Amino acid sequence: MEFIESRAFTRRLFQLLSAAAEEVLRQIQVDLEGNPQRGRVVPGLGGIRKARHSDPTRGKGKRGGLRYLYLYLESRQHVHLFYLFDKNEEEDLGREERALLRQMVADLRQEEARQWQRR
């Protein structure tokens, strides 16, 4: 399985977790390798899932810790990590953010279809 991080995800990872960033990223990857469909599908985002992870820097468990948005493309075994945020920051995405994520998913799915056509 290949993990692809957006710049926004990586930036937030280091902003929120500092020295713990690499370890949390590794834990997220292990969790997703074990069950890539673990998060709930966010309605209207083309298959993007939202999952929880603990925040070791604040002593918060999964319920009170971090949230991340990702897309699992099963045929390619790719996990695209889009965004990471603290539970207290935001619960819902704005209209512009949702539109941007939908477009990113559409682009990824188009690329996936082109890859299959080349085979």
pLDDT of amino acid 86:
87
- CATH number where 9 lies: 3.30.2310.20
Domain range for residue 87? 2-118
pLDDT of amino acid 103:
94
Condensed to tens digits (0 to 9), the pLDDT of residues 57-116 reads 776 666 668 999 999 998 889 999 999 998 777 667 888 989 999 999 999 988 887 876
**Domain count along the chain:** 1
| Three-class DSSP category at 70 | strand
Condensed to tens digits (0 to 9), the pLDDT of residues 17-63 reads 999 999 999 999 999 999 999 999 999 999 999 999 988 877 666 66
**Residue 81, Cβ neighbours under 10 Å: how many?**
21
CB 48 within 8 A of CB 42: yes
